Structure 1
Amino acid sequence: MADTFKFRIDHHGSLVRPPELLAARAAHAADLREIEDAAIAEAVRRQRKLSLTVVTDGEFRRADFRSVILDAVHGFDGGSLKATRTLVADDVAGLAALTQIPAKATLPSPAFLASRLWVPGGPWGSARELGEAFARIIRDEIEAVISRGVRLIQIDNHAYAEKLTGRDTGALDLAAALAVDAMAVSVADKPFNVRIGFCPATGVTGDVDPAVAERLFTAIPVDRWVLPYDTGAPAETALLRAVPADRDVCLGIVSPLTPLLEDVETVMTRMDVVGSVRDLEDVAVSPSAGFSDVAGRATISAEDQWRKLTHVETFARMCWGNEL
């Protein structure tokens, strides 16, 4: 049986940026760091008030989900990647100082980065070669994050959504993508109370190929799979069923794309299905995606975002009572 370590009320990491932060970044303000610090402190306060079981910095220092790499890693054009600073480790160390609730770090997967950034005819002989270079950097960063006391780390590669439904597109085929991402999360001597999660999709359309799902869930050695579960589509339940019994699952039960709150009875009926498939002790809940993977491109307001997170907490308490 897996062990959730009480990370039952989760979210993907990105939050709606405050307008003053967006304005300061657009203006290249000299005091941008101080404005970021203040915005992060307020976001942590709001998360703490909601009794979430993890907190993030909202990704407020990022322009988008890739910028932790693009801003800190050099050598794309020269065929040798080098990180000039930590990607997120120093930032999450500051986050951890703001609260006793465990801090969470999120990172893009190396396979995702390689599939998007590799250019035929460039200095990298193949997308896999570039992916393996990214994997070494991401693995080093995971170790740095763990050394700062972070206990929950999420790796994102939403490109697996296509592969799961039979569309093996992109610069990396399924086998290469799995090998690269597995390399990144294979951290030596990982502490027993540190959990690494992986999000392969924020939505699935069409039928899930069970053979692909089995390969995905067994090839990448993570503790938790973060899966969409907010539409009631059969594919969502098919994914859930394919996760090995010894892994946690975190289910995205509310949508971050609409301000409308999900119907309580509908969500709880879906959670009944979850309980018939898995031990609920190994399940967590969250929104189905981040609220703003790209700064300034959220589809709902900040206040609607907090209402959604409150909704997630409500469902968690309905499932597990106050023993979260």
Structure 2
Amino acid sequence: MSRNLVHYDIVGSFLRPAELKQARADFAAKKISKDDLKKVEDEEIKKLVAKEEKAGLKIVTDGEFRRSYWHLDTFWGFGGIKHTKQEHGYFFHDEETRNDSAQVEGKIEFTGDHPDLEAFKYLKSITDSSDVTPRQSIPSPAQFYAELVRGPENVTAVKKFYSSEDELLDDISKAYRDLILALYDAGCRDVKLDDCTWGMVVDDDFWATMVKQGFDRDDLEKKYLRVNNGALVDLPDDLRVSTHICRGNYHSTWAAKGGYGPVAKYVFAQENVDAFYLEFDNKRSGSFDPIKEVPAGKEVVLGLVTSKKPELEKPDDLITRVKEAAQFHDLQELALSTQCGFASTEEGNQLTEEEQWKKIALVIDTAKQIWA
């Protein structure tokens, strides 16, 4: 698809305002109704979008204000999936997350009624009179698959309803494609697939543990590519699909390390998306060299500004790094962003809302210097 590149962007999640946090706590304590919570969500999303537009962003999101997690809420919205708890959450560098999970309880399907679809419809309604593009971010199909086989209980549940992995992967792809088409019918022209699976695959320490559990790295990469691309077949030409590849972002901590080299020949060279949003804000992320595998004509959005810390990067340093990346991918097909969102879960990262907006201003101002 053709598109005039803006050259600056965001990943999508924003720190939850105090009013929203209080409303979610009151709803959990059964002090307010679901409708009452929705009213607060609507109002806070409206305020957020106004701030995004004022900041100069051309692509806006609802901040993921209706979600607890960047990924699990989407999974729970599909038919055949139930909300479960595991013995442990996800293990990050300094913390363990909450222990929620998603588990198969029937054949997986998009039922036509999904929280992400309803969330987008509201975002669309409040941006119709402006010139910004409303984006819907959803976790990738590969991320869904990874959750469904996370731990023995989830694997056992899958085997009750699926006789083969081929059937499971096909159903995941179809459910996702149906959701994407429903979003398109609701007016969505920008969908982003958030994906930590590739970021985990590149971590050698993580893989030492996975090998002990019987996983094969090459085989899993092929499955991830298959299930993602299976959801992206025969989509409308005017729908921009991108993917954000991350190594974990929870309360300013991280889950994995390693450069993109081991997965570049799969995801960069072969995934059927228009743009790649990539984490490059620290030494854990490796060099820019792997982005040479991204085909010409596709955008690479460099996540050089960290969303994990309040300290502002120096514009000159960012400009230098963008020029380094341009040795491996055309400068005119590069863009600048934060490496991830500011609140992949409702806990949020350890910085203030004011510091969050300063980060975004830095991205925009620096990009305008590079791509004047």
Q: Find the aligned partners of 2:293 and 2:174 in 1 and give their Cα distance.
A: 28
Partner of 2:225: 178
Q: Find the aligned partners of 2:324 and 2:167 in 1 and give their Cα distance.
A: 42
Out of 171, 185, 188, which is 1:133 matched to?
171
Structure 2 counterparts to residues 227-246 of structure 1, below 5 A: 227-231=278-282, 235-246=286-297
Matched, 1:296 2:313: no
Q: Find the aligned partners of 2:294 and 2:370 in 1 and give their Cα distance.
A: 20
Matched, 1:198 2:243: yes
Q: Find the aligned partners of 2:236 and 2:67 in 1 and give their Cα distance.
A: 27
| Secondary structure in 1 matching 2:363 | helix
Partner of 2:62: 57
Q: Find the aligned partners of 1:268 and 1:232 in 2 and give their Cα distance.
A: 17
Partner of 2:51: 46
CA RMSD of aligned residues (A): 2.3
In the alignment, structure 1 segments of 5+ residues that lack a partner are none
**TM-score between the two structures when normalised by the length of structure 1:** 0.89
Matched, 1:93 2:121: yes
Instruction: Indicate how the Cα distance of structure 1 residues 70 and 182 shifts in structure 2: closer, same or farther if over 3 A, else same.
Output: closer
Cα distance, 1:37 vs structure 2: 0.4
Partner of 1:9: 8
Instruction: Indicate how the Cα distance of structure 1 residues 146 and 272 shifts in structure 2: closer, same or farther if over 3 A, else same.
Output: same
Question: Identity of aligned pairs, percent?
Answer: 27
Matched, 1:80 2:118: no
Query: Is the 1:13–1:56 Cα contact (8 Å) retained in structure 2?
Result: yes
Partner of 1:117: 148
CA offset digits 1:101-151 (Å, max 9, x no partner) = 000110111111121223222223455543432221111111122222222
| Secondary structure in 2 matching 1:64 | coil
Instruction: Indicate how the Cα distance of structure 1 residues 14 and 125 shifts in structure 2: closer, same or farther if over 3 A, else same.
Output: farther
Partner of 2:324: 273
Q: Find the aligned partners of 2:326 and 2:294 in 1 and give their Cα distance.
A: 14
| Secondary structure in 2 matching 1:81 | strand
Instruction: Indicate how the Cα distance of structure 1 residues 127 and 20 shifts in structure 2: closer, same or farther if over 3 A, else same.
Output: farther
| Secondary structure in 2 matching 1:175 | helix
**TM-score between the two structures when normalised by the length of structure 2:** 0.78
Instruction: Indicate how the Cα distance of structure 1 residues 36 and 202 shifts in structure 2: closer, same or farther if over 3 A, else same.
Output: same
In the alignment, structure 2 segments of 5+ residues that lack a partner are 82-103, 249-255
| Secondary structure in 1 matching 2:326 | helix
| Secondary structure in 2 matching 1:314 | helix
CA offset digits 1:286-314 (Å, max 9, x no partner) = 11011101112322221211111111111
Q: Find the aligned partners of 1:315 and 1:129 in 2 and give their Cα distance.
A: 47
Task: Give the residue type in structure 2 aligned to 1:25.
Answer: R
Task: Give the residue type in structure 2 aligned to 1:86.
Answer: H
Query: Is the 1:4–1:281 Cα contact (8 Å) retained in structure 2?
Result: no
Task: Give the residue type in structure 2 aligned to 1:312.
Answer: V
| Secondary structure in 2 matching 1:252 | strand
Instruction: Indicate how the Cα distance of structure 1 residues 177 and 64 shifts in structure 2: closer, same or farther if over 3 A, else same.
Output: same
CA offset digits 1:241-295 (Å, max 9, x no partner) = 2222231111112000000000111111101112333222212221101110111
Q: Find the aligned partners of 1:21 and 1:237 in 2 and give their Cα distance.
A: 38
Partner of 1:251: 302
Q: Find the aligned partners of 1:239 and 1:320 in 2 and give their Cα distance.
A: 23
| Secondary structure in 1 matching 2:300 | strand
Greater Cα offset, 63-72 or 216-225: 63-72
Task: Give the residue type in structure 2 aligned to 1:195.
Answer: R
Matched, 1:157 2:229: no
Task: Give the residue type in structure 1 aligned to 2:107.
Answer: S
Query: Is the 1:12–1:287 Cα contact (8 Å) retained in structure 2?
Result: yes
Q: Find the aligned partners of 2:264 and 2:167 in 1 and give their Cα distance.
A: 24
Greater Cα offset, 144-153 or 285-294: 144-153
Cα distance, 1:209 vs structure 2: 3.4
Instruction: Indicate how the Cα distance of structure 1 residues 317 and 165 shifts in structure 2: closer, same or farther if over 3 A, else same.
Output: same
Query: Is the 1:165–1:208 Cα contact (8 Å) retained in structure 2?
Result: no
Partner of 1:27: 26
Instruction: Indicate how the Cα distance of structure 1 residues 206 and 262 shifts in structure 2: closer, same or farther if over 3 A, else same.
Output: same
Query: Is the 1:9–1:54 Cα contact (8 Å) retained in structure 2?
Result: no
Partner of 1:220: 271
Cα distance, 1:59 vs structure 2: 0.4
Partner of 1:103: 134
| Secondary structure in 1 matching 2:65 | coil
Q: Find the aligned partners of 1:313 and 1:209 in 2 and give their Cα distance.
A: 28
Task: Give the residue type in structure 2 aligned to 1:111.
Answer: A
Q: Find the aligned partners of 1:265 and 1:218 in 2 and give their Cα distance.
A: 31
Partner of 2:87: none
Matched, 1:209 2:256: no
Task: Give the residue type in structure 1 aligned to 2:231.
Answer: A
Q: Number of aligned residue pairs: give it.
A: 317
